[in-house]
């Protein structure tokens, strides 16, 4: 995956916000990180998203097993999909799922990647969340356009639209588990695509009608966001597809320098002095 935007957490400019995606930073392909090394490790339990799933091309899992080596925890079939389970160096659970990206999610391979184009990640496949009581969360997912399509080993799979890569969310109940605590190696929030400002406002109104308390629309410069917690405690984001990561950088050099939104530019010197150097 390509580092398409090197920026900072706009609510905590002393830490990076690193965006990885396809070569163009296409919506639906990006996975982002806040490196907060001072945090304690994540404490598993309900109210968390314990895993993010990435789509890889059919037939590529043997390649990935060889490339990732000891970080591969297991291989299994879920909901009829071949899946490779792994943990990143900080303990974050990830799943690589063999599948085809949807026709309406454009994706361009990164030609400078060490991974051959025909093996590269094609985007987000879905995620998993753990809640104490699934009823209220299921009701909210319905408001967001999801429907339950399958159940397997205690997991309930929800899909939006026609389903497929990028349109899945898996839910399980853990009524006897402790409340999970966010930390290093954990997922901070899950972002859901909305096409534009009008779509975002309509979805925000629907979330309010469902009894949740979303934020106002927050301008993140490359997209606009609304945040709220679903009833089980997982932080959700509604993020617009645009303006996009190339609005302030040449597409050929995305991610090669620290980029700040205009309102943080006056603080660039102090921000750069506080950030640690990045390797690679």
d(CA 224, CA 237): 10
Supply 121's token pair.
């990640």
Axis crossing angle, helix 197-209 with helix 134-143, rounded to the nearest 10: 140
Instruction: At 202, list the tokens.
Output: 């309509």
What is the Cα–Cα distance from 181 to 160, expressed in whole angstroms?
28
Domain 1-38+252-280 has CATH 3.30.2350.10: no
Burial of 269 (0-12, 13-18, 19+ CB in 10 A): exposed
Q: What is the pLDDT of residue 280?
A: 63
Beta strands in 153-269 (DSSP E): 155-160, 168-173, 190-194, 218-219, 224-229, 235-240
- Write down the CATH number for the domain with range 40-187: 3.10.180.10
pTM of the model: 0.97
Q: What is the pLDDT of residue 16?
A: 98
How far apart are alpha carbons 194 and 196 in whole angstroms?
6
- CB 215 within 8 Å of CB 228: yes
Per-residue model confidence (pLDDT) at position 102: 87
Order the strands of the 81-87 sheet from edge to edge: 72-78, 81-87, 93-98, 48-56, 123-131, 168-173, 155-160, 146-152
Residue 103, exposed/middle/buried by CB under 10 A (0-12, 13-18, 19+)?
A: exposed
CATH of 189-247, one of 3.10.180.10, 3.40.50.150, 1.10.10.10, 3.40.50.1000: 3.10.180.10
How far is residue 213's CA from residue 146's CA, in Å, rounded to a whole number? 20
Residue 79: name the closest of 37, 137, 125, 112 by CA.
125
The segment(s) of the chain belonging to CATH 3.10.180.10 are 1-38+252-280, 40-187, 189-247
Task: Give exposure, 113-137, as e/b (b: 16+ Cβ within 10 Å).
Answer: eebeeebbbbbbbbbbbbbbebebb
Q: Could you list the pLDDT tens digit for every one of the 280 residues in the chain?
A: 999 999 999 999 999 999 999 999 999 999 999 999 889 999 999 999 999 999 999 999 999 999 999 999 999 999 999 999 999 999 999 999 999 988 888 899 999 999 999 999 999 999 999 999 999 999 999 999 999 999 999 999 999 998 999 999 999 999 999 999 999 999 999 999 999 999 999 999 999 999 999 999 999 999 999 999 999 999 999 999 999 999 999 999 999 999 999 999 999 999 999 999 987 6
């Amino acid at each position: 995956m390509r580092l398409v935007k090197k920026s900072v957490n706009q609510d905590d400019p002393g830490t990076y916000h690193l965006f990885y995606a396809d070569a163009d930073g296409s919506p639906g392909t990006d996975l982002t990180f806040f490196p907060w090394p001072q945090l304690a490790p994540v404490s598993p339990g309900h109210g968390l998203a314990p895993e993010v799933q990435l789509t890889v091309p059919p037939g590529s899992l043997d390649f990935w097993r060889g490339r990732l080596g000891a970080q591969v925890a297991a291989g299994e079939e879920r909901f009829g999909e071949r899946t490779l389970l792994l943990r990143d160096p900080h303990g974050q659970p990830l799943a690589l799922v063999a599948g085809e990206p949807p026709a309406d999610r454009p994706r361009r391979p990164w030609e400078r990647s060490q991974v051959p184009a025909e093996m590269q990640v094609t985007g987000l496949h879905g995620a998993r969340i753990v809640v104490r009581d699934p009823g209220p969360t299921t009701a909210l997912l319905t408001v967001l356009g999801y429907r339950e399509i399958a159940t397997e080993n205690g997991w309930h799979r929800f899909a939006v639209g026609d389903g497929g890569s990028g349109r899945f969310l898996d839910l399980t109940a853990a009524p006897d588990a402790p409340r999970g605590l966010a930390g290093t190696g954990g997922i901070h929030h899950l972002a859901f695509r909305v096409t534009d400002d009008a779509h975002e406002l309509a979805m925000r109104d629907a979330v309010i009608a469902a009894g949740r308390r979303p934020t106002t629309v927050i301008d993140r410069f490359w997209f606009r966001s609304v945040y709220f917690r679903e009833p089980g405690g997982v932080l959700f984001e509604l993020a617009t597809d645009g303006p996009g990561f190339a609005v302030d950088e040449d597409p050929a050099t995305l991610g090669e320098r620290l980029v700040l939104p205009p309102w943080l530019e006056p603080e660039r010197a102090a921000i750069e002095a506080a950030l640690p150097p990045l390797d690679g």
